[in-house]
A = this chain, B = another copy of it.
Amino acid sequence: MKKNLYQKKDKFYVAVDCIIFGFSNGKLKLLVFNRKIDPFKGSLSLIGSFVNIGESVSDASKRILEEFTGLKNVYMKELKTYSLIDRDPGYRCISIAQYALIRIGDDTKKIVEENGAKWFDIDIIPNLILDHNQMTFDALKRIEEIVRYKPIGFELLPEKFTIPQLQKLYEAIYRRTLDPRNFRKKILTFDVIIKLDEKDKLSSKKGAYLYKFDYSKYKKLQESGYNFEI
């Protein structure tokens, strides 16, 4: 590192906290763990820790998520910075919150549990340390906003899913019920899901057709955006 030209300036601990959402049994879930260091050892917390000097914030969040949960290759987005001077009694510290939507597969479930993390239903989130409840609230609001103009679901649903499942995901985010005929029509007009020749019979006797996302179209839609008021 070169000569320090900023010697008289203040320095900060910089943390990241990860707000990880999943979807299972028709419910949005938040990933939470038991904090293992003081202050607040033993309390419930988002997955978070400090950024090292030799890494970017986004590298740090990947490293930390993996350290705490075993989850790899999760693509997180920056939510915002939390920097109130009294936010952390441990020491003056800012946190750059990151959020992600992930698929809760069998592998994920196992990894997460082995590492002592837990999924909580988003409408019964327990008290978390510091400003972590605020972060969760802000992340949920962000997702609600984004869903209005970008498709969602690919990251949260299993590879093969049914239209009623996808509808339940939207209902969980919108927090209201949707008309199944209109929902189906709308989703299909985007031409972003592909009908498969299999049925899922877990939730009904008749069975529902499985679909998968057309990933390249999905990605394009995410970039270009659209309007999804339903």
Chain A contact residues, CB within 8 Å of chain B:
1-2, 4-6, 9-14, 37-39, 50-58, 78, 80-81, 83-85, 89-94, 96, 145, 148-149, 225, 227, 229
Q: A83 to chain B: closest CB distance in Å? A: 4
A226: nearest chain-B partner, CB-CB: B229
Tell me how many chains of this kind the complex includes: 2
Q: For chain A, what secondary structure do more than half of its interface residues adopt (helix, strand, loop), or is it mixed?
A: loop
Q: Which 6 A-B pairs have the closest CB atoms?
A: A11-B11, A10-B53, A57-B83, A5-B90, A9-B50, A56-B83
Q: A152 to chain B: closest CB distance in Å? A: 16
| Residues of B with C-beta under 8 A to A54 | 85
CA distance A10 to B16 in the complex (A): 13
Q: A176 to chain B: closest CB distance in Å? A: 15
A9: nearest chain-B partner, CB-CB: B50
User: Once the chains bind, are A51 and B10 in contact (CB under 8 Å)?
Assistant: yes
CA distance A92 to B84 in the complex (A): 22
